[in-house]
Amino acid sequence: MPARFITTVMVALGATTSIARAQSLGSLPIDTISTAAIAAATTDTSYLSPWVSAIPDHATVPSPRDYLGYTIGTPGELTQVDRIHGYLDALAAASPRVRIFDLGLSAEGRMMKVAAIADQQLLDRLEEIKAQLRRLGDPVATSRAQADSIIDATVPIYWMTAGLHSTELGPPEMVMELAYRLAVEDRAPFNGIRRGVITLITPVLEVDGRARQVDWYRRHVAGHTDRNEMPPRSPPFWGHYTFHDNNRDGIVVSQPLTRNYLRAFLEWRPTVSLDLHESVPLLYVSGGTGPYNETIDPITVGEWHTLANYEVARLTSMGMPGVWTWGFYTGWYPGYLLWVTNNHNSLGRFYETFGNGSAETMERDLTNASYAGKKITSRQWYRSVPPPATLKWSMRNNTNFMQTGALASLEMVAQNPRLFLDNYYTKGVRALERGRSEAPYAFHIPAEQRDRDAARALVDILRMQGIEVGVVPRNMELGDHAMAQGDLLVSSAQPFGPLARNLLMKQDFPADAEHSPYDDVGWTLGLLLGVETHRIDDAAVLEVALDALDGDGPFAAGGEAPGRAVWAIPHEGQRELGPFRFALGNVPVWAADSAFEANGRDFPAGTILIDRDSVPHETLEAALATRALDVVGLRRFPDVGRHRLDLPRIGLFQSWLSTQNTGWVRYSLDQAGVPFTLVSEARVRTGDLLDDFDVLILPHFWASAQARRIVAGVDPKWSPLAYTTTPEYPSHGRILSADDITGGIGFVGMEALRQFVVGGGTAVAFGSGTTLMTESGMLHDISVKRPTGLNTPGSVITTKVLQSGSPLTFGYPTLGHVFRGNGPLFNIANHRRHLVALQFGTKAVGDEAKAAAEEEGDETEATPPLVLSGGIVRGDLDGEAALAHTTLGDGHVVLFAWNPMHRHINQHDHGLVYNALLFWNDLETPSAPARTE
C-alpha cells in the first residue's frame, strides 16, 4: 500500500477515534451504546468516517436505537416497513425539522412515504418553495430576471430514495440513521445542509417487496454466513407484478410505485435525486461509461461528474478505500426510476454500495470481480484507491459508506445552491431553444390510426410525463406533409421537449460503442405501441396555434354502436382486439378465414364478426366502453369462410426460480381483462393438465436460461423452503403459495407438459421459455441455438410474414416489426421453413432464396433496415425464425423467439400473443408447399 495512502488512513483514523472517545458531537452528548455498536459491527476502521463513527444522544428526539432497540447495522437485525415508517413518524413528532408526507398506495395497498428534513423556517415555507421550483422549471412563463429572483429566495430539494430493489437491504436501514443525524446534529456539515437544502427521504420504495424480503430473511436466511453456501437470499416475489424490473418502468409508468414517484416529482420538482442501491464494491457513484443518452443536456452530464468527483474525493480524503465512479452502467437507457429526474431537466443519480443481501457479516472475495474490463482491485483514473482483494463485510460497513457519501453529496449541493438551481432553469431554457432551432420541431400523431386504443395509450403516457399535446385546428400542409383537423401535435419547443424527442424519435445505439449496453437500447414509443407518428422537420410547425386537447380527443373509447345485424371489427393487429373477445365471454364470436369485401370496403383475414342479436346488448356496450375499437355494421354475415373463436382456459406457468417476466405477463393480461390461472411447478408435476387448461403460456425467464435449469428449479438441498402465509410471516403466500419451492418441475413435469400437448393442448412459449420445448428433446423439427457472440439488446427489429394464411399472423403486414432483446434462436432446417410464420429481417432463406436467385432482371423493392430503432452490438438476425409453429401429437406448439410481453412496453406485439390465444384450436398442421418442377 502506498505510503501516502497509509498516512491518509492514519489521519482519518485518528479523527474517527478522537470523535468516538470524545464526550460530545457538537453540543450533543454521544450515545455511547450506539457508538460502541457501530465500532463492533464495522469490520475495519478504514470503513468508518468521522461523520458516522459516533451517534449523538438527543434529550427529546429518539434515535433509531431508542425506537427500534438496536443500532443501525447491527448484525442479524432487519427492520420491517411499518417499523421504518413508525420511526420516521416518531422523529417527525419529536422534531420540528422533520415532516412526513404520503406518496400513495402500493399495488398491495401499503402506503409509500417521504420525509422532508430541513430547518424549521424552510419547512414552514415548503409549499412556497415547491411552487417556486415549479415556476423555475417553466421557462415559458418565467423570465431570466424572475428566475434569478426565485433562485435568490429558495433552496434546492434533494430527494433520496431507498429500498427499490428488495434484496438490497442496507439503504432502508441507513436512511433512518441519516434522518436522525440531519434532524439533530449541529456540527458541520449537518447544520449547513439543513440551512441550504431540503432533504427528502423515501425510506422504502418497494414497500411490498421489503415486507416479503424481511420475512424471508427471518424465515430462511438468518444465521447463514457463508455466501457461497446458503439458501436463496431473495423471496420469489417482490412487488405484486414487478421484481427487479420495478426499476425499468420509467417510460410507460405502469406500476403504482412509478406513478406515485412521477406524480410526486412533478409536484415537488426536486433539483437532485439519489437512488440508493447495492451491488458493486465498495461504493460506486454513478457516472457511467457512455454512450450517454443523446437527448440529455450536457449540463446534466457535467453535473453527474461534478458531484461524483466531489464525493469520491471527499470519502477518499477520509481514508475510505474503494470509492469510484465511471466504470459501471452506461447512461443510455432512460427508463430507470431515477431517470424521471434526468428526463425532466433535474439531476438524477444513484449509488451502488457493496452488500451481502443479508444482515449477516460475511467473508468476501473480490479477486475475480471486473467492471468495464478492469479488475475492481486495480487502480484506475476513476478509482485511485481500490478495495482489498479479500475482506470481511458487514451491513454496518455498507451503512458507513453510503451515509458518508450521501452527506458529502448533500454538503456539495447545500454549499452551491445557486449552481444547481441555475442549471435547472437553464436546462429548461435550452430545451426550448433546442426545440426551436433543431429538427425535429414536432411530432405528428394522425387521428386516423389502425389502432386507436394504442394511440390513446401513447397520448396518456406523454401527458403523464408532463409533455404537452395539442390539437391541429384545421387541415394544413407543411411542405410535403399534410395534417388534418383533429390530428395531434407534440412540439419539441416545450420544457420537456427533450423527453418528447427521446420517447418519439428512433434510437441509434453507436455501433462502435466501447462498452456493451446495460439495458434496452431502443424504445421508440410509436413503434413499440404500434402507433403511426411522423417527425416534422419544418420549423413552420412552430407557428401553428394548437387547440388544447380535451380528454382523449380522437382516441376516446366507446362511441356509438352500429345498428346493423352484424358487427365487424377489422383485424389490424390492435392490442385490444383479443381482450375485447375475452370481455364478451362465452357467446358466439366468429373470425373470417380470409379477406373479404363488404359495404364497399375491404376487410382483412381474421376480422371479428358478431351477430348482434346473439350477444346481450349491455355486454357489447360494456366491452366497447373502455376500448377505442372501430366497429362496422353489416347487414348480414359476409360470404366468407369463418370459424368460431372459442375461449381457451389459459394457464400461465410460474417457476419459483424466476418470477420477473411472468409478472409482466400477469400484469398485461390483468390489464386486458384476460382470465388465466397461475400454474405452479407442483401443479405441473401433478399432471392431467388438460383437465384444467387448453393453453399453457411458458413465459420468458432470462436471456441465457436453459431448459435444464428451469427443470431443476431451486436447489432441493435447501428443502423445505416454505412460501406460505403464517402469523409470523404474513407477507408470504401472496400471488402463489407453496410449502416448499425447491425442486422445479423435474422430469415428471416435463412429461406432463408433453402429455398436455400430445393430448390436444396448445403450448405458447416466449423467449427463453421456448427452451422447455426446443432444448428438451420434446420436438424433433425445431431445436435451440445460441450463436456465439450474438448480442441483440432490446431493439425494434424488422419482421417479414412468411405464412400469410396463418391465423398467428392475422392483422400484421408482410413487412412489420417486433421488439426483441437477447435470448435463444431456433434451428429449423431449410426444408422445414414452412414452420416459420414470421422471420426477423427480410433475407430470403431456403427455397425462397433459390427462387430469388433464379429470377433475373427483376428490380428489388426497397426494404426497411433490419434495425428500426436501437442497435445490434454483435452478430446478425436477418432471416432467423421469429415465430414458429409445429405440432406434437394432437396439439400445437407456438414459439416466439423474443419476449412479446416485455415490461408492458412492446404492446404492438401483444396482438400476436392474442392471435395464438384466440386461434388456439383453429391452427392447421403446417405443411410444406407443393413443389413445382
Q: Which helix (H) or strand (E) holds 157?
A: strand 157-161
Beta strands in 558-686 (DSSP E): 566-569, 590-592, 596-598, 601-603, 608-611, 632-634, 642-644, 650-653, 677-679
* One-letter amino acid for residue 186 of the chain: D
Rounded to whole angstroms, the Cα distance separating 132 from 155 reads 10
Question: Residue 821's closest CA among 287, 22, 248, 386?
Answer: 248
Which cell is 531 given? 402507433
Cα torsion angle, 186, 189, 190, 196, sign: positive
Residue 931: per-residue pLDDT: 61
Cis peptide before 720 (omega within 30 of 0): yes
What is the CB neighbour count within 10 angstroms for residue 834?
18
Distances 209 to 212, 234, 260, 449, 732 between C-alpha atoms, Å: 5, 10, 16, 39, 10
Which runs of consecutive H residues, i.e. helices, occur in 124-239? 126-136, 144-153, 170-184, 190-196, 207-216
Catalogue the long-range contacts made by 374-377 (C-beta closer than 8 Å, 24 or more residues apart): 374/327, 376/280, 376/281, 376/322
Rounded to whole angstroms, the Cα distance separating 382 from 367 reads 19
Residue found under cell 396518456: 460
Q: Are 177 and 70 in contact (CB under 8 A)?
A: no
Q: Are 393 and 361 in contact (CB under 8 A)?
A: yes
**Mean pLDDT by groups of 10 residues along the chain of 933 residues:** 36 49 88 98 98 98 98 98 98 98 98 98 98 98 98 98 98 98 98 98 98 98 97 98 98 98 98 98 97 97 98 98 97 98 98 98 97 97 98 98 98 98 98 98 98 98 98 95 97 98 98 93 98 97 95 90 89 97 96 96 97 89 92 95 97 98 98 98 98 98 97 97 98 98 98 98 98 96 94 97 96 98 97 97 87 60 91 96 98 98 98 98 87 53
Rounded to whole angstroms, the Cα distance separating 886 from 12 reads 68
Instruction: Convert 108-123 into a string of H (helix), E (strand) and C (coil).
Output: CCCEEEEEEECCHHHH
Rounded to whole angstroms, the Cα distance separating 612 from 635 reads 11
Which runs of consecutive H residues, i.e. helices, occur in 269-330? 298-317
Distances 430 to 66, 276, 331, 436, 494 between C-alpha atoms, Å: 49, 29, 20, 10, 10
Which cell is 167 given? 434484496
Rounded to whole angstroms, the Cα distance separating 864 from 71 reads 61
Rounded to whole angstroms, the Cα distance separating 434 from 139 reads 13
Q: Is 317 helix (H, G, I), strand (E, B) or coil?
A: helix
**Residue 517 burial (C-beta neighbours within 10 Å; 0-12, 13-18, 19+):** buried
Q: Are 535 and 440 in contact (CB under 8 A)?
A: yes
Which cell is 294 given? 443523446
Which cell is 101 given? 408526507
* One-letter amino acid for residue 490 of the chain: V
pTM for the whole structure: 0.96
Distance of alpha carbon 289 from the chain centroid: 21
Rounded to whole angstroms, the Cα distance separating 128 from 150 reads 11
Q: What is the DSSP string of 904-932?
A: TT-GGGHHHHHHHHHTTTSPPPP-PPPP-
What is the CB neighbour count within 10 angstroms for residue 140?
11
Residue 559: per-residue pLDDT: 75
Residue 563: per-residue pLDDT: 81
Residue 517: per-residue pLDDT: 94
Residue 618: per-residue pLDDT: 87
Residue 40: per-residue pLDDT: 98
What is the CB neighbour count within 10 angstroms for residue 751?
15
Q: Are 292 and 369 in contact (CB under 8 A)?
A: no
How many angstroms separate the first and last alpha carbons of the chain? 79
Q: Is 31 helix (H, G, I), strand (E, B) or coil?
A: coil
Residue found under cell 432446417: 829
